Structure 1
Amino acid sequence: MATPRNQQVSLEDTPYYHCVSRCVRHAFLCGDDDITGTSYEHRRGWVETRLLFLAGVFSIDICAYAVMSNHLHVVLHIDSKKVEKWTTREVLQRWHKLHKGTNLTQQYLRGEPLSDGTLALVEDSADAYRQRLTDISWFMKELNEPIARRANIEDECTGHFWEGRFKSQALLDEAALIACMAYVDLNPVRAKVSETPETSDFTSIKKRVTSVELCQPKALFPFVGDSQQGAHFGLPFKLKDYLELVDMTGRIIRADKRGAIDASLLPILQRLQISSDNWLCIAIEFEKRTSSLVGQEHSIEQYCRFHHRHRKPNLQSVKLLA
């Protein structure tokens, strides 16, 4: 039996989650259908545009993403502190970018006078919207449903476009986070769709590379370095180190570029104490090697103890992060 989503997401343990949505039937999210000759490549733009739009609405940051032919990956950071600072008006304005809200919330935003009783109802609505704006289930719903509707109209069909339930993995520590992000950014290279990470269209790595000379893209969660003090405001790695890590890993997993990683060239692996051999394995086979909880052994032990979980995930896989 699948674990309920509200039991998979625990902000006390981690704000980082890896989500995967896959298409059903012989459905193409993007790519080319060899049987009919139809190209669906334009749908990648639909997904990327919607994804980056939602990052400006939700109190959820995008760390990494990759739009593939029949599925998409996204690594999310839930910012529960930022949403608490939003006023009722700001919460309603953000939610109204997605839905009409209620007559009362519309009247409130227009500045119409409301009685104390109706103001209380508006506040109740804002509280509900505030919770939704930090909920990854709502985020994925707002991402997937509009894409499904557009695709079904274009395909002239009805029914499910996505699998009913997206996959979610909790990334419990920095080692799990960096491994998952690299795995997501390297999806097109691993699938032989692109030769290098920087030429992988509709991925976060390309968006970061094309923006790196000027500044980090505002739509993505920024890299802030190793400081724990800045961890709430960005990814706890240096952008330069991450780009070097992904570039070198991408070169190695290509069939015509076999080689070995020199750990001395990769400060991130040194700091996280991940061996070079283990890194290659986890970066290439992250989904196969991990479960709904991903982290180093001590992180998973602590999570299971705190949540009174007696059945632990396969610890052979987490040893790859050591």
Structure 2
Amino acid sequence: MTIARSRQISLADTPYYHVVSRCVRRAFLCGQDDHSGQSYEHRRQWVADKLGQLSQVFAIGICAYAVMSNHYHLVLKVQANMANEWSEREVAERWSRLFQWPLLVRRWYQGEELIAPELEVVHQLITQWRDRLYSISWLVRLLNESLARQANQEDGCKGHFWEGRFKSQALLTESALLACMTYVDLNPIRAGIAATPEESDFTSIQQRIEQTADLATQTPLLLPFAREGKPETLPCSFADYLAFVDWTGRAIRLDKRGHIPHHLVPVLQRLGMNEEQWLGHVTLFRRQGIRAIGDKVCCQRYAAHCGQTRCHQPHL
């Protein structure tokens, strides 16, 4: 049975969520159509450009992303505290980058004197906009609507481009977050599209590697990893995360025997996991029907906050 989106998001338990949105059957987001010979590779840039635009407006950080041929993955951090700290004028300015203001809001912004009922309407609108600016549903909605319009216009057709609902999974622990980011960044390698992370086009791992090599290319699209002297945004350093991705990419391939580099062991120990548990975390994201990933206590607390008697998801 379909569960309302409001019952799948619990910011009291975690700000981190894994989102997957897929095209309808036989529709191409990107990639090459072998039947017609048509290439849709240029659409990957559409996704990256729109994500960059929305990340500058919403109080939602992007931890990881991967653009595949008929779907995309996002790992998001909802930053509700940031949105609640914005002034009403900043909320209105951010919303104006997405939609036109009603005349009443324009008059208020320009400093015109309004009567009490008019001011109440303005305050109600801004409160509504503030809530939407840290809503995953609104971010995905604007991303998908933009991509669907562009794709349908290019294809000369009408109708649905995306499946009815996007999939979301709550990431309740640090290990679940890092495992999901690793899973997302390894998608092109598992699909045989790329051989290494640095060759995985339109993924967060490639973007981070390029930004590390050339500081001039840095953009605010992605949340930063922990750095000395800086507040921790993601719960490990980029060097440790690269070790996660490299080791997991080798170990998960059936035709090669992976091994654990000695410098990776302390990181896994800090997460309280062994190698088998880590690989189990990463493979969970391929399974259908999983709404939350985390340990038993976190899953039970998440279920209670979402109005469920129990969480039917696996916990590690």
TM-score by length of 2: 0.92
Secondary structure of the equivalent of 1:312?
Answer: coil
The runs of 5 or more residues in structure 2 that have no matched partner are: none
User: 1:285: how far off?
Assistant: 4.8
Aligned-partner Cα distance in 2 for 1:277–1:290: 22
Residue ranges of structure 1 left out of the alignment (5+ in a row): none
CA contact (8 A) 1:262 1:276 kept: no
CA contact (8 A) 1:63 1:75 kept: yes
Conservation of the 8 A alpha-carbon contact between 1:208 and 1:217: no
Alignment-mate amino acid for residue 134 of structure 2: T
Count residues in correspondence. Answer: 314
Q: Which moved more, 1:54-63 or 1:115-124?
A: 115-124
Q: Deviations over 1:38-58 (max 9, x none)?
A: 000000000011011111100
Q: CA deviation at 1:267?
A: 3.2
> Which range moves more in the overlay, 214-223 or 143-152?
214-223
Offset at residue 105 of structure 1 (A): 1.8
- Note if contact 2:292-2:313 (Cα within 8 Å) is conserved in structure 1: no
**1:291 alignment counterpart:** 290
CA distance in 2, matches of 1:303, 1:293: 8
The residue type paired with residue 271 of structure 1 is R
Question: CA offset at residue 304 of structure 1?
Answer: 3.4
For residue 224 of structure 1, the aligned residue among 216, 223, 226 is 226
Q: Comparing both chains, which one has the higher relative contact order based on Cα–Cα distances under 8 Å and sequence gaps of 6 or more?
A: 2
Counterpart of 2:62 in structure 1 is 62
Q: In 2, Cα distance between the equivalents of 1:70 and 1:247? A: 25
Q: Is the 8 A contact 1:293 1:300 kept in 2?
A: yes
Determine helix, strand or coil for the equivalent of 2:286.
helix
Q: For residue 22 of structure 2, what is the aligned residue in structure 1?
A: 22
**Matched-pair identity in %:** 48
CA 1:313/1:95 → structure 2, altered by over 3 Å: closer, same or farther?
same
Q: Alpha-carbon deviations, 1:43-77, whole Å to 9, x = none?
A: 00000110111111001110110000000000110
Partner of 2:264 in structure 1?
Answer: 265
Q: Could you tell me which residue of structure 2 aligns to residue 302 of structure 1? A: 301
Q: 2:228, 2:168 → 1: CA distance?
A: 26
Cα offsets for 1:255-308 (capped at 9, x unmatched): 664323346524332211222123234324522177101112232133335556
Matched letter for residue 95 of structure 2: W
Cα displacement (A) at 1:254: 4.7
SS in 2 for 1:62: strand
Alignment of 1:178-197 (within 5 A): 178-197=178-197
Alpha-carbon shift at residue 109 of structure 1 (Å): 3.3
- CA gap of 1:210–1:261, structure 2 versus 1, over 3 A, is same
- The letter of the residue matching 2:123 is E
Whether contact under 8 Å (2:9, 2:170) holds in the other structure is yes
Matches within 5 A, 1:307-318: 309-315=308-314, 318=315
Greater shift, 298-307 or 198-207, is seen at 298-307
- Mapping of residues 19-58 of structure 1, within 5 Å: 19-58=19-58
